[in-house]
Amino acid sequence: MSAVISTIKLHLNQRRVTFIAPLSIAGTVAIISVLISLVFWRAGSQPGSAGWIQGSQSNPGIVYALVGFLIYAGVASVATTFPFALTLGATRRAFIAGTLLWDAITAAYIAIIFAVLNVIELATHHWGVGFYIFDIYVLGAGNTPRLLLIVFLGVLSALTIGGVFAAAWVRFGIRGPQVIAVGVIFVLGIAAIAIVPDAAAIIAAFQLWWLAIAAGVVIMVSSIGMWLLVRRAIVR
């Protein structure tokens, strides 16, 4: 157990990466969003108008920017950290448990920060000037509990996906991630072939919680995959 906690501390060792980097990325994107809004404003769009709100809320830039970083963080949490963790004396078991717990801590941290900022955004009538940064469609359109869930599951998915790819690399070298990528494409292809005839009906019946289930499945599969790949991995 102590090695699990030590592994979490190992991941938290670079505090800047864990705590500051996601915020600075989100902050940068927020500033860019504001700049874009200003361009629209100067172009004649009126803050508060239906078109303005529609346009602002559809902008998922903040999500894209974070996903890239989070997948990198997920990869780094396994790829270069695994050999060092074993050198320090962690077991593979403790390393994976600690890594998954760190993933969850990071996801919760970002979700809570986003939720707080969302509440502030709503309370200040979108920062007093009609800027939509957190109150956007992909983050639940202002619904704070929903935002919490979306961000938590989203971050956790990105981190564990990065982790499982890195775990494949640790175990099998360069071929590992390639095999996973091919496998995923293959499964998605089969699924698409199976679903396409009923696509219209499925889209019509689409419920938001399906995504939550999908994220849950991705997280589960990635986590189990990480463990299975790393439990027999050796350091080279």
Q: Which residues bind other proteins (CB under 8 A)?
A: 2-3, 6, 9-10, 13-14, 17, 76, 80-81, 83-84, 86-94, 234-235
The CA distances from residue 214 to 18, 71, 177, 191, in Å, are 26, 18, 21, 13
CB of 93 to other proteins, least distance (A): 6
Please say which residue, 18 or 222, places its beta carbon nearer to other proteins: 18
Please say which residue, 69 or 137, places its beta carbon nearer to other proteins: 69
Q: Cβ of 46: how many Cβ atoms within 10 Å? A: 11
Q: Phi then psi for 47, rounded to 5 degrees?
A: -55, 135
Please say which residue, 24 or 54, places its beta carbon nearer to other proteins: 24
Rounded distance, CA 111 to CA 149, Å? 8
Which residue blocks in 43-143 are alpha helix, DSSP H? Answer: 50-57, 61-79, 81-88, 92-123
Rounded distance, CA 10 to CA 12, Å? 5
Please say which residue, 151 or 158, places its beta carbon nearer to other proteins: 158
CB of 10 to other proteins, least distance (A): 5
Please say which residue, 146 or 231, places its beta carbon nearer to other proteins: 231
Rounded distance, CA 103 to CA 155, Å? 8
